[in-house]
Amino acid sequence: MADATALKIKTVTNGQPRVLRIASIIVSILALAAMVSIALEFGFVTPPLPEALLVSVQVVAIVAYVCLRVYQIVRAGFRWEAIRSCMPDFVLLAIAGLVIVFVQVEASHQPIIKASALYVGVMQALLLTRLLIAGVRLNLALSQSHLHPARVMALAFCALILLGGLALSLPKATNPGLLESSGMCVYEHILNCMFTAISACCVTGLAIYDTGQDFTLFGQIVILILIQAGGLGIMIFGGVFGLLAGRQLSLKQSLVLQDSLSHRTIGQLRSMVAFVVILTIVAEAVGAAALYPLWSHLDSVWLRIFYSVFHAVSAFCNAGFALQSDSLIPYRGAWQVYGAIVPLIVVGGLGFPVLSDLWQLAKLRLQRFLASISRNPAHRGPAKRRVLSLHTRLVLLASGVLIFVPTLLFFILESDPLLSSGPGTVPPESQKMVDGGVMDRLLDSFFLSITCRTAGFNTVEMNVDSMTSSSHFLASLLMFIGGSPASTAGGVKTIGIAVLILGVTATLQGRKRIEAFGRTIPEDVVRRAAAVVFVMFGLASLSTLLLCSLEDCSLREALFESVSACGTVGLSTGLTPHLTLGGRIVIMVVMFAGRLGPLTLLVALAGRRKAAQYEYAMESVVIG
């Protein structure tokens, strides 16, 4: 292994590194110019430069990049490894060639023009792919530095937010006349676009602009990409593209991914990332297929597909972004809301370690079932037994309690026996839970108990005139708790609350150890859970105080909006679109801190501290 590494270094040394360095710099400059040309071409209604010039810059950048890669392959000592690292480029180039041949064979008129347009499109896709891979390389380079993994994650999120905000600020991302009709200046418009980018990356759902009305299809696609990237996490995406590029992850790079996934086994990281990608694709594809009939009022098939994919991704990532101004209120009572949106929210909020544990258990039981019905005695080996981990058991128990108990509470708090005692259906114009029959209120309560834990969709109005103050307080508690660790959800997480409850129970019972399901929970886990809850409580309290000082709103509205931003939920009483400049900045900071996690953010800001080499004498204090 050492000889192979030395041979690699010698090969690179003899490969005219100065020439390669200069060529790489030139290619990087051309790639940057190509990215700017793509932004000018697609981000403006009328490009400020001739389209032929912009396309020429892109083609030159691609040709230069291909020449550089070919030169590196020729000069490489391990050519197969070099070819494997270039495989994404070669695949896209092959697709471009096949598309051109197909168009020239099938098209009877103007084949060259059509082929050129498709070829340029594939080239632009190649440029974007190379940009992603370049971002991954930069990400992995940061992970090899002395920066803490939490800081790497924060920097990655900041980079994605900045790029997304700039893309949404392009003229073609928003509908024409938005600035004139709203009376905003350019700087305020850019701030609102940055607000949307943070909300999408942090999968919150709070928005100043109306996603369906104020943004064009281009802007909605950008928001969709930001939701998907933010939901799975920048580190997970970096690991996926790094593996696709054929590069092995170092121990420190694996630790960066582990920090994002909360997965303790480094050796299983590769399979975990693959499981994340496959699960995401399958869940969102099934959800989109189930949601397709919901948009029967739309004329275009492609628009119905886009609506289905957008809402499936938004639900799975617990983002809460909808293309309707009133979220899912127009589809209140539709089976797709409870048969597609709800399962996506629940699966996305359980966490990938829990889903992986359940998948392994399901596979083992399927294997045992097949072995039991097999006639071949050789297939009937010793029965294997797999027990769910303590983490999975606590998550499933806490999630079940937080779904069914709040459902009953919402149903009681929003019931008015004098106004709605019959089993009738919800009137079409009704937007309040109290206006429906028993079954309708039960369904609304069930959906509300799920969506309040970071999903952000709503089937009833959430303003102060449509819900009781007790329901708003209960919803704030659920938003504060959030979903489960290593999921697309936010909040202090179900495990944190469960561990604290177990700790209080053990203290009241006089037990020294905290136990659950026949296992003892370490004390450092309890301290970490307490720290997360305390920091999140402080963040929500501070943001509520600032909103009460800066905005003309009630304490109820400020508290609800602050907790929604801290837990990256996205539910709103209607205050967010009317926030002042100071209020918008407060919510932006809170959404960012809530997505990264208060404890992770504090670790990122504090940096590395050496452990103390001494210990003070112990002395007790009085509590209570």
Inter-residue contact 43 to 112 (CB < 8 Å):
no
Please tell me the predicted confidence (pLDDT) of residue 418: 38
Q: For the range 268-275, what are the long-range contacts, defined as Cβ-Cβ under 8 Å and sequence gap of 24 or more?
A: 269/239, 270/243, 272/352, 272/356, 273/236, 273/239, 273/240, 273/243, 275/352, 275/355, 275/356, 275/359
Bridge partners for 215 per DSSP: 174
- Is the pLDDT at 243 greater than 80? The verdict is no
Confidence of residue 385 (pLDDT cuts 50, 70, 90): low
- Terminal Cα-to-Cα distance of the chain (whole angstroms): 63
Best CA proximity match to 238, nearest among 268, 261, 218 = 261
Q: Measure CA 108 to chain center.
A: 45
Alpha carbon distance 196, 224 (integer Å): 11
Best CA proximity match to 418, nearest among 406, 431, 403, 435 = 435
Q: In terms of C-beta density within 10 A (0-12 exposed, 13-18 middle, 19 or more buried), how is residue 400 classed?
A: exposed
Alpha carbon distance 308, 301 (integer Å): 11
Amino acid at 494: T
Inter-residue contact 514 to 499 (CB < 8 Å):
yes
Mean pLDDT of the chain: 77
Q: In terms of C-beta density within 10 A (0-12 exposed, 13-18 middle, 19 or more buried), how is residue 59 classed?
A: middle
What residues contact 311, with CB distance under 8 A and at least 6 apart?
288, 291, 322, 323, 341
Confidence of residue 92 (pLDDT cuts 50, 70, 90): low
For residue 491 the two structure tokens come to: 């909040």
Amino acid at 592: F
Bridge partners for 174 per DSSP: 215
- Is the pLDDT at 430 greater than 70? The verdict is no
Q: Which residues of 473-496 are buried (b: 16+ CB within 10 A; e: fewer)?
A: ebbbebbbbbbbbbbbbbbbbbbb
pTM of this structure: 0.81
Task: Tell me the C-alpha to C-alpha distance, in Å, between residue 235 and each of 127, 150, 431, 486, 565.
Answer: 21, 10, 40, 12, 22
Task: Tell me the C-alpha to C-alpha distance, in Å, between residue 396 and each of 392, 402, 485.
Answer: 6, 10, 12
Confidence of residue 295 (pLDDT cuts 50, 70, 90): very high
For residue 607 the two structure tokens come to: 């940096």
* Tokens 């009241």 belong to residue: 508
Alpha carbon distance 151, 159 (integer Å): 12
State the maximum Cα–Cα separation within the chain, in Å, rounded to a whole number: 90
Inter-residue contact 291 to 307 (CB < 8 Å):
yes
* Tokens 């997304």 belong to residue: 164
What residues contact 451, with CB distance under 8 A and at least 6 apart?
320, 345, 457, 458, 571
Q: Which residues of 210-221 are buried (b: 16+ CB within 10 A; e: fewer)?
A: bbeebbbebbbe
**Helix or strand holding residue 514 (H, E):** strand 514-516
Confidence of residue 9 (pLDDT cuts 50, 70, 90): very low
Q: Which of 271-285, 373-387, 468-482, 594-608 has the highest mean pLDDT?
A: 468-482
Alpha helices, H only, 435-554:
438-451, 469-481, 494-508, 523-550
Mean pLDDT of 170-174: 87
Helix (H, G, I), strand (E, B) or coil at 519: strand
Inter-residue contact 332 to 426 (CB < 8 Å):
yes
Please tell me the predicted confidence (pLDDT) of residue 93: 59
For residue 129 the two structure tokens come to: 């792919």
- Is the pLDDT at 365 greater than 80? The verdict is yes
Of residues 331 and 11, the one with the higher pLDDT is: 331
Crossing angle of the two packed helices 598-606 and 581-596, in degrees rounded to 10:
90
For 10, phi and psi rounded to 5 degrees? -65, -40
Q: Which of 141-150, 401-410, 447-456, 532-541 has the lowest mean pLDDT?
A: 141-150
Helix (H, G, I), strand (E, B) or coil at 174: strand
- Is the pLDDT at 199 greater than 90? The verdict is yes
Tens digit of each residue's pLDDT (9 = 90 or more) over 451-507: 998 888 988 888 888 888 999 999 999 999 998 887 888 889 899 899 999 999 998
